[in-house]
Structure 1
C-alpha cells in the first residue's frame, strides 16, 4: 500500500513513543510499536514495519553490557531454538487468517502485561534450565513468526534465570535481535516484506532513537517502577482492545 502523510506521521509517532518507553525502562520498543501498528495497519504490516527500528536498537543493546560470551555460553541452546523456529511460525502465519493471529497477539500481550503487573516470578534451577531452554526458545520463535511478538515465553524464561539487571537487558537484546533478523528473512522469503515496507520501516529508526534519548532523560526525573506499571497496563489494555475489535469484526 502507498502511505500518505497521515500514515507516515503515525509511523513516526509510534516509534517515537516506543523509543521513549525503551529509553525509560530498557525494553518495550518491539512490543509497543507492534501493538499500535497492528491496531492501525493490521498484523502483517505491523510486523514488517517494526523490522528496522527493532533490529538496530536491539543490536546496540545486545552488543553493550560486556556479558556477550557469558550469555552465549549459558543460553546458546535457547537462542538457537528461538531463532530457528521463527521459520515454522512464519509458515503458520502464511496459512492462517491474519485476524485470528491478531487475536492471538492480543492474548500474548495480555499475558505479558498480567504476569508483570502481578509481579509473578520464579527461579529455575540448572536442571530445569537444561530441559526448558529449548522448549521456551522454540515456543518464543514460533510465536514470533506467527505474531511478531518476541516476549512470551522468552522474556519470562530469561527473568527466571536470576540474571542481574545489566545481563538480563543484554540477553533480551540478543533475543530480540536474533528474532527480528530471522523474522525479516522469513517475511522476505514469503513476499511479506516489500521494498516499500522496508523503506517505511527504516523511516521509524530516527524517531525511535530520538525517543530513546528522550526516555533516558525522563528516567532521571520519573519513578521507573511507576512507568513500568503503566507500560504493562498498556500492554494489557491494547491486547484486550485487539481481541475485542477482532471479535466485533466477525
Structure 2
C-alpha cells in the first residue's frame, strides 16, 4: 500500500508541478482503482493542503485575491455543507461517487483540450462567483476533487499568469479545508483520517512538484497538456462506463 501511495503522489505531484494543477484529480483517479473514494480523499488532505498553500503564497497579494473572490470562497463553503450531490460517505447510493469522479475527470480533460475557446466571463463575475463556488464545494464533498466548474471558471476570467496560479491555489486551499472538515464529520464506518499515511504521501508529492518544475522547462508545455488531458478523458470515460456496467 505504501509503495502505491508513493508512486501515485509522485506522479500527481509531478503533473501539478508541470501544469499548476491536477494533483487531486490524478491521485483520486488512480487510488480509487484499489481503495474507496473516501479512503483516497483522506490520503489527499495533507499533500493537497501543503502544495496548495505553497502555490497560494508563492507570490504576494493574497489579501487582494481574497477580497476579490470572497463570494466564490463563501460559495465553496456553503456547497460543502449543503450539497445536492451524493457525498463520499454515501458510496452505496444510486449514483456512485466513483462514476461522478470519472465524469469530472472526463469533463476536466475536455476542458483542458479546448480551453482556448472559453468565453471571457469577467463581466459576469459578481453574480457567477457564488454559484460556481457552491457547485465546486458540493462536488468537492461528492468526489474529493475541486475541478468542475471552479477551474475553468477562474481560467475564463482572463487573469494574469501569477494571479491565475494564486487564485487556483486559493480555491484549492479552501476546498481542501472544507473536505477535511466533511471527512471528520462524516466518517464511513467510523473510519478516522489516516494522517500518518497522508504525511507519507506528502513527501513524494513535494518531490514530484519539484521534478515537475524541471520538466516544464524541458518539454513544450502545450504538448504535455494535450497528452495529459487526453489521458484524463480516456480514464474518466472508462470509470463512468465501468460503474454503469458497460465495461
TM-score of the aligned structures, taking structure 2 as reference length: 0.92
Structure 1 unaligned blocks of 5 or more: 1-6
The number of equivalent residue pairs is 243
1:210 to 194, 207, 213: 207
Determine if the alignment matches structure 1 residue 132 to structure 2 residue 120: no
Match of 1:85 in 2: 79
Residue pair 2:136, 2:148 contacting (<8 A) in 1 also = yes
Determine if the alignment matches structure 1 residue 180 to structure 2 residue 176: yes
Match of 2:37 in 1: 43
CA drift of 1:194 comes to 4.2
Match of 1:4 in 2: none
Determine if the alignment matches structure 1 residue 247 to structure 2 residue 244: yes
Task: Tell me the distance in 1 between the aligned counterparts of 2:84 and 2:195.
Answer: 18
CA drift of 1:96 comes to 5.5
Task: Tell me the distance in 2 between the aligned counterparts of 1:20 and 1:86.
Answer: 28
CA drift of 1:190 comes to 1.1
Match of 1:3 in 2: none
* Aligned residues: CA RMSD: 2.0
TM-score of the aligned structures, taking structure 1 as reference length: 0.90
Over 3 Å counting, the alpha-carbon distance change for 1:124 and 1:196 in structure 2 is closer
Deviations 1:94-128 (A, max 9, x none): 345266121111111111111221233110143x1
Deviations 1:59-94 (A, max 9, x none): 111122213122112111001111232122398413
Match of 1:201 in 2: 198
1:237 to 207, 211, 234: 234
SS of alignment partner, residue 83 of structure 2: helix
Residue pair 2:65, 2:167 contacting (<8 A) in 1 also = yes
Match of 1:73 in 2: 67
Point out the more displaced range, 176-185 or 78-87: 78-87
Task: Tell me the distance in 2 between the aligned counterparts of 1:246 and 1:198.
Answer: 29
Match of 1:53 in 2: 47
Point out the more displaced range, 35-44 or 173-182: 35-44
SS of alignment partner, residue 85 of structure 1: helix
Task: Tell me the distance in 1 between the aligned counterparts of 2:113 and 2:168.
Answer: 19
